[in-house]
Amino acid sequence: MKIGVVDVFCGIGGLSHGFSVEGFDVIAGIDSDGSCRYAYETNVKARFIESDVTDINEQQIKKLFKQRKLSYRVLVGCAPCTPFSMYTGRYRKIRRRDSQWQLLNDFSRLVEATKPDVISMENVPRLIRHPIFVKFVRKIEKAGYTVTYKKVRAHHYGVPQRRARLVLFASLWGAVKLLPPTHLRRFKTVRDTIGRLPKIKAGQKCSSDRLHTCRKLSPQNLTRLQATTEGGSWKDWNDELQLACHKKRAGASFRSVYGRMRWDAPSPVITTQCLGIGNGRFGHPKQDRAISIREAALLQSFPKTFRFLAPREAINTTQLARHIGNAVPPKLSRVIARSIKRHLTDVSIERAVD
């Protein structure tokens, strides 16, 4: 049984990597960000197509699938979730702008036109509440698919991070069921994941791992972080260290900014801003610094062998943080892939009997 996969909005390949590891034939990934090409093609061993999804037509997708002799075709994607995310202050301002949801509409357009056997989409749970999601599901069901979706907590599947995600499946062959959680009693923790990495100081780079590097801190922010307890935040500080916004009623709701992670718990959500202590609870549990690029990648469950940069390519921390924060955690990707494989295996057995 050969299952071909095309990944729309592929980024550096967090989702594709999981499918590749699980034995799927990943044919290509499509993304408008050309800076993702090296990581995608190097790790996934598949073609990277730099293109905006709005410019992709159904004939191009069909042609990609026709390149291989396949038992089944799978189309997967993770449309950028900024419009639906609580981690952007723009959410309330843009939620009524139809143009913001065009990427999701384009994904449904490709599904309706190319009719893959199975589709899967990963996004933020908040998407479920929006009318655009209801319309999306209805379109897919009218095209002949059985749709199932579920809010998933990544740390229930071995990802060392409290990341809640929406996972949707749609199949022409019946309902796809997500595999049951594997880590309900013992979660992977920050200590499990990054506890053995060499110690570094703010602004330093590890001599044995160039991705184990973190941003500098101003003297004042260093003092602030030193005053923050493990698992704590700016609420640990005295009045002199607090920012003016923290003293306002609205500022009191941002409890995690300038915070430290806890050693013996999963990390908070690794976002595209995860290398700065002012953007969330991204302080190292014990060391006086923000987490490093390597630590962010490991907390997203990327294997240490994953190659983010060409050997002589300069490190761009902003770009790497965006690549890592936007990715689907590979461990969660593998669960999605195994769920689809189990479904199609059952379908193949039933078809053989018939």
**Three-class DSSP labels, the chain:** CCEEEEEECCCCCHHHHHHHHCCCEEEEEEECCHHHHHHHHHHHCCEEEECCHHHCCHHHHHHHHHCCCCCEEEEEECCCCHHHCCCCCCHHHHCCCHHHHHHHHHHHHHHHHHCCCEEEEEECHHHHHCHHHHHHHHHHHHCCCEEEEEEEEHHHHCCCECCEEEEEEEECCCCCCCCCCCCCCCCCCHHHHHCCCCCCCCCCEECCEEEEECCCCCHHHHHHHHCCCCCCCHHHCCCCCCCHHHHCCHHHHCCCCCCECCCCCCECCCCCCCCCHHHCCCECCCCCCECCHHHHHHHCCCCCCCCCCCCCCCCCHHHHHHHHHHCCCHHHHHHHHHHHHHHHHHHHHHHHHC
Note if 81 is an active site residue.
Answer: yes
Alpha-carbon span 292 to 206, nearest angstrom:
10
Output the CA torsion sign for 339, 340, 343, 344.
negative
C-beta neighbour count of 131 within 10 angstroms? 8
The catalytic residue among 10, 36, 78, 81 is: 81
Which residues are catalytically annotated? 81
